[in-house]
Structure 1
Amino acid sequence: MQFGPALRAAAGIAVLSIMDAVIKAMAAHYPIFQIAFLRFACGTLVATGVVAVMRPGWPSRETVKANLLRSVAAVITALSFFYALGQLPLAETLVLSFLSPMFIALFGVLLLHERVDSRIVLAIAVGFGGTLIVVFGQTEGAHAARSWSGVAAALMSAVTYAFSLVLLRQRAQRDKFIHIVFFQTTGPGVLVAPLALWVWQPVEWAHMGWFMLMGMLGVLGHILMATAYAKAEAARLAPLEYTALIWAAAIGYGVFSEIPTWATLGGGTLIVLAALLTSRR
């Protein structure tokens, strides 16, 4: 695997981690359905501007149908993950979602017939070991205060996110990346709109800038991910998802005053090692 796709995937994960932090901040003010809709609606505005500049032409009927399936997976992933962000610390939410690389590798084998070599298995095992250290390294008080509905939502998002990324790998080899990104924002926005209208609250003007930032970060992150998955197998990029914990720990401490534990730091070290294992030629 070339280093280029790995670098783009890691950068995309970093950008989307920053977007997650903005979503977590907005979750204190608005219902999850409304946040999800505004994130996709603002992303649609940005993606439409990019399409107008690039002029990629009209997508094929096959492209539309395939990306509608990804839109459904994206809605389930977003709603469950946004809910978890509102219930759990940022770093813990990311940790619980780190089952996704295992499912990415599994779906890659089942749906794309990819071959998973021993180095990728080792990288996934090391990264998941780091995840377990973070989870079971929590104090007894932290376990007692944990929101189990948030835990369940984070785990659900891991499965649907993995399925979405494997579909991304499948379509990225056939479709133009800007078509993929456009449907990734418009499709979920349309699907979640009725739910958002049901719980809608007036949006403060001061918060509109944050929602537009969500949209820009989402589009940029998905462009990086789509171009990465077009060039590299899903299983090889999967362990890079673990680097999100490093960003979550840093942002959680700097923005939300969530102090990372020694377990988080120790597990994070193994997670970085996993990322390096999978990124080497």
Structure 2
Amino acid sequence: MPARTNHAAPAGALPRAIRDAVLGIGFLSAMDAAVKLATVSLPVTQVTFLRFAFGLIAVAAAIAWTRPRVPTAQALRINFVRALLVVATGLAFFTALSRLPLAEATALTFLAPGFMALFGALFLKERVSGRIVAALAIGFAGMLVIVFGQGGFSSGVTLDPLGVAAGLSAAVFYALAMVLVRARAHLDGVVVIVALQHLFPALVLAGPAAYVWEPLTGDLVWLFCLVGTLGVCGHLLLARAFRSAEAARIAPIDYTALVWAALLGLVLFGEIPGWATLAGAALIVAGAVVASRR
């Protein structure tokens, strides 16, 4: 164990990992903002397909640079099942983005760690402790504050019920995807996982997207080039961060997404998060921290 400590975490590794994680979350938050812009002109199904299809272009560049090993048949099977959950997550979250302010949609996804703890107990036979129950209760209370507090001590805005349901569904689907392939990160390469995470969803969504297809203008093509690049860069930075430092040190940085979302929402859409959103997000984050503590 001492050897692991000395060689696995060289001097400066943690600051670099934190920098990579903050930048990665920032890239993914910017991607979400760009997707929200795209949903104004295009159906959500087409937007979700294009997010993965254009991401494949950036993934191809990463594959050419790193030349990862060919994935095994088992990796393909497991990642295809995960792809179905990724598709469901994308459709649900992009629906939430099209109907909710950016900060509110982002805050609802913070319920995912609580759901992960619950699904770990249900599917992986992990012990259901009082800590998990408390974490779920705290996170659920935060969600209620965000949803029902808007007309009270917030800005007087009522959130779209379908958008709220979509945001909650995205958190559930994401948690299932994470529980399903939690161990694959040690078996498959980072670039392989990111590549399959784009390839399989694009294939699954190609038919439904063609059915609702709307013509793309030149501006939208460039927008999705940006979406694909931001998404792949964000995932690669996060993967490098988690590879360079302990997960427990990096995972809390995910909550900087709310800061990014609030800033991007203000600059691009003129959205100002209300006190209900901030208070509810604080409760959800507290529940997630309780759920993830050892």
Shared topology, TM-score over 0.5? yes
Distance in 1, matches of 2:64 and 2:172, equals: 34
> 1:47 matched to which residue of 2?
59
Task: Specify which of 182, 186, 200 is matched with residue 199 of structure 2.
Answer: 186
Matched, 1:245 2:251: no
Task: Specify which of 90, 93, 107 is matched with residue 95 of structure 1.
Answer: 107
Alignment of 1:131-280 (within 5 A): 132-139=144-151, 145-228=158-241, 240-267=253-280
Structure 1 letter corresponding to 2:113: P
- RMSD of aligned residue pairs (Cα, Å): 3.7
TM-superposed deviation, 1:20:
0.6
Matched, 1:59 2:71: yes
1:56 is paired with a residue of what secondary structure?
A: coil
Distance in 2, matches of 1:196 and 1:275, equals: 34
Aligned partners of 1:242 and 1:275 also within 8 Å? no
1:220 is paired with a residue of what secondary structure?
A: helix
Aligned partners of 2:142 and 2:284 also within 8 Å? yes
Structure 2 letter corresponding to 1:107: F
Distance in 2, matches of 1:110 and 1:80, equals: 23
Moved more, 59-68 or 257-266: 257-266
Q: Percent identity?
A: 46
Residue by residue over 1:252-274, the C-alpha shift from the partner in whole angstroms, topping out at 9 and shown as x without a partner, is 11110011223334455667778
* 1:151–1:278 CA distance, 2 compared to 1 (3 A): closer
Structure 1 letter corresponding to 2:79: N
Matched, 1:27 2:39: yes
> 1:105 matched to which residue of 2?
117
TM-score (norm 2): 0.79
TM-superposed deviation, 1:166:
2.8
* 1:255–1:15 CA distance, 2 compared to 1 (3 A): same
TM-superposed deviation, 1:246:
1.9
1:81 is paired with a residue of what secondary structure?
A: helix
Aligned partners of 1:178 and 1:223 also within 8 Å? yes
5+ residue gaps, structure 1: none
Distance in 2, matches of 1:133 and 1:79, equals: 25
* 1:103–1:275 CA distance, 2 compared to 1 (3 A): closer
* 1:207–1:223 CA distance, 2 compared to 1 (3 A): same
Q: Aligned residues, how many?
A: 281
TM-superposed deviation, 1:241:
4.0
Distance in 2, matches of 1:242 and 1:127, equals: 14
